[in-house]
């Protein structure tokens, strides 16, 4: 049998595919999916890179005490980021409300005479903010204030690594708040991560104990915030984010008036604008776009560029070095998180079956 040259076979295959509209459409869909995935990866890498600017920008703004107080920086950062992201959440804030029912005895008698059933007579309904949404705003406020203040007290590498302990706090608090028990394997991940925390504290305790404690508190309240958001799975993510950002600005305002007032230099305002829009608001928008194109477990890994780049920018901006104990502890914590994310991916594949593509 004559098979012919590879070139002739390739041309026949191409002609066959071109003649089959279904196959051609499938190839176009696959190519479009690949393009979306590549774009998504780029968006997530960009969001992680922009988030990683936090330490350097906070230190440039604070100027070792010559600039605004950390609470003031946190206020402007949240305010400007919230205003930037606000268009994404416009018209979606009703997802933060719930119906609250109560009985009114006088209207009940009127409703009964008017033909309403006794079971529903006199029942009034009004919209109220969900308690979980209020908790989100409070936890977000404490988290972001602790994160910024800690950056003015200790090295940014310590702060960003310790904030990533939020996953450990979620393990500990999920049984209490969500009635979700962690798997036995997840407990070992927690032990490994907390070992990394112990290494960081052990190497910096003599000089930065207060800053480390505030940074660890940021991780704690980040974990609490995550748990509250999980309780609000049916709420719009953009609405939750904007409510947290603008709500935290409102809660921080009295402290700003007490420590700094509104006396801010033009130089500080420029840095605050970059912090709020470029470092805090824009990455959230890019992350949302990327998450629509890339699986969640891959998004979690891609945005781990943040703790890697954060100390680099701080070194470039203000010459801040990273202690060896922070490097060692950070590697332990991040390695634990990577193992956790990859393990979750394998469990999802076994539970729902492997899916094609990315």
Residue with the two structure tokens 């130089």? 267
Range with lowest mean pLDDT among 52-66, 270-284, 334-348:
334-348
Same domain for 114 and 63?
A: no
Same domain for 88 and 99?
A: no
Same domain for 109 and 258?
A: no
Range of the domain at 119: 94-129
> Is 27 inside any structural domain?
no
> Is 117 inside any structural domain?
yes
| Last-in-domain residue among 79, 111, 129 | 129
Report yes or no: 218 and 354 within 8 Å, Cβ to Cβ: no
Same domain for 125 and 218?
A: no
> Is 15 inside any structural domain?
no
pLDDT in tens, 205-218: 767 789 999 999 99
> Is 173 inside any structural domain?
yes
Instruction: Tell whether the model's pLDDT for residue 357 goes beyond 50.
Output: no
pLDDT in tens, 279-335: 999 998 898 888 888 876 677 777 888 888 899 999 999 999 888 888 888 888 888
pLDDT, averaged across the chain: 81
Same domain for 212 and 104?
A: no
Instruction: Tell whether the model's pLDDT for residue 155 goes beyond 70.
Output: yes
The pLDDT-based confidence of 256 (bands split at 50, 70, 90) is: very high
> Is 14 inside any structural domain?
no
Is the CA virtual torsion 21, 23, 25, 27 positive or negative? negative
| Last-in-domain residue among 104, 129, 154 | 129
Maximum average pLDDT range among 26-30, 89-93, 121-125, 331-335: 89-93
The pLDDT-based confidence of 176 (bands split at 50, 70, 90) is: confident
Same domain for 101 and 221?
A: no
**Res 122: pLDDT:** 53
Percent above pLDDT 70 for the chain: 79
Same domain for 156 and 249?
A: yes
Could you give the C-alpha distances from 185 to 131, 162, 227, 236, 339, in angstroms and in order?
A: 33, 22, 20, 32, 10
Same domain for 248 and 150?
A: yes
> Is 12 inside any structural domain?
no
Q: Is 106 left (phi over 0), alpha (psi -120 to 50) or beta?
A: alpha
> Is 265 inside any structural domain?
yes
Total of domains in the chain: 2
**Res 40: pLDDT:** 87
pTM recorded for the entire structure = 0.78
The H or E element spanning position 100 is strand 97-103
Structure tokens of 27?
A: 């190839």
Same domain for 88 and 169?
A: yes
DSSP 118-161: TTTTTEEEEEEE-HHHHHHHHHHHHHHHHHHHHHTTS-HHHHHH
Same domain for 196 and 261?
A: yes
**Res 356: pLDDT:** 42
| Last-in-domain residue among 110, 129, 148 | 129
**Res 358: pLDDT:** 41
Q: Mean pLDDT throughout 63-90?
A: 92
**Res 103: pLDDT:** 56
Same domain for 182 and 261?
A: yes
Same domain for 68 and 205?
A: yes
Q: Mean pLDDT throughout 120-140?
A: 79
> Is 10 inside any structural domain?
no
């Amino acid at each position: 049998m004559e098979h012919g040259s590879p070139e002739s076979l390739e041309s026949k295959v191409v002609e066959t595919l071109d003649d089959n509209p279904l196959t051609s459409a499938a190839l176009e869909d696959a190519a479009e999916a690949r393009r979306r995935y590549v774009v998504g990866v780029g968006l997530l890498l960009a969001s992680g890179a922009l988030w990683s600017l936090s330490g350097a920008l906070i230190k440039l703004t604070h100027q070792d005490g010559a600039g605004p107080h950390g609470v003031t920086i946190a206020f402007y950062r949240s305010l400007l980021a919230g205003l930037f992201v606000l268009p994404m959440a416009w018209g979606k804030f009703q997802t933060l409300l719930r119906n609250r029912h109560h009985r009114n005895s006088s209207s009940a008698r009127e409703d009964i005479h008017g033909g309403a059933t006794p079971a529903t007579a006199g029942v009034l309904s009004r919209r109220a903010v969900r308690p979980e949404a209020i908790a989100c705003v409070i936890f977000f406020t404490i988290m972001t204030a602790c994160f910024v203040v800690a950056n003015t007290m200790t090295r940014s590498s310590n702060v960003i690594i310790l904030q990533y302990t939020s996953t450990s706090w979620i393990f500990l608090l999920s049984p209490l708040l969500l009635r979700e028990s962690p798997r036995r394997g997840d407990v070992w991940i927690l032990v490994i991560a907390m070992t990394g925390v112990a290494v960081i504290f052990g190497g910096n305790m003599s000089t930065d104990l207060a800053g480390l404690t505030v940074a660890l508190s940021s991780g704690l309240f980040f974990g609490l915030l995550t748990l509250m958001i999980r309780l609000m799975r049916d709420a719009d993510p953009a609405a939750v984010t904007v409510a947290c950002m603008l709500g935290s600005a409102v809660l921080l305002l009295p402290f700003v008036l007490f420590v700094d007032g509104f006396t801010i230099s033009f130089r500080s305002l420029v840095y605050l604008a970059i912090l709020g829009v470029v470092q805090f608001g824009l990455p959230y928008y890019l992350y949302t776009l990327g998450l629509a194109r890339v699986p969640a477990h891959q998004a979690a890994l891609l945005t781990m560029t943040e703790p890697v780049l954060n100390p680099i920018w701080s070194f470039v901006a203000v010459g801040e070095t990273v202690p060896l104990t922070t490097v060692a502890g950070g590697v332990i914590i991040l390695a634990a998180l990577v193992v956790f994310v990859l393990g979750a991916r394998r469990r999802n594949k076994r539970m729902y079956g492997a899916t094609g593509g990315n």
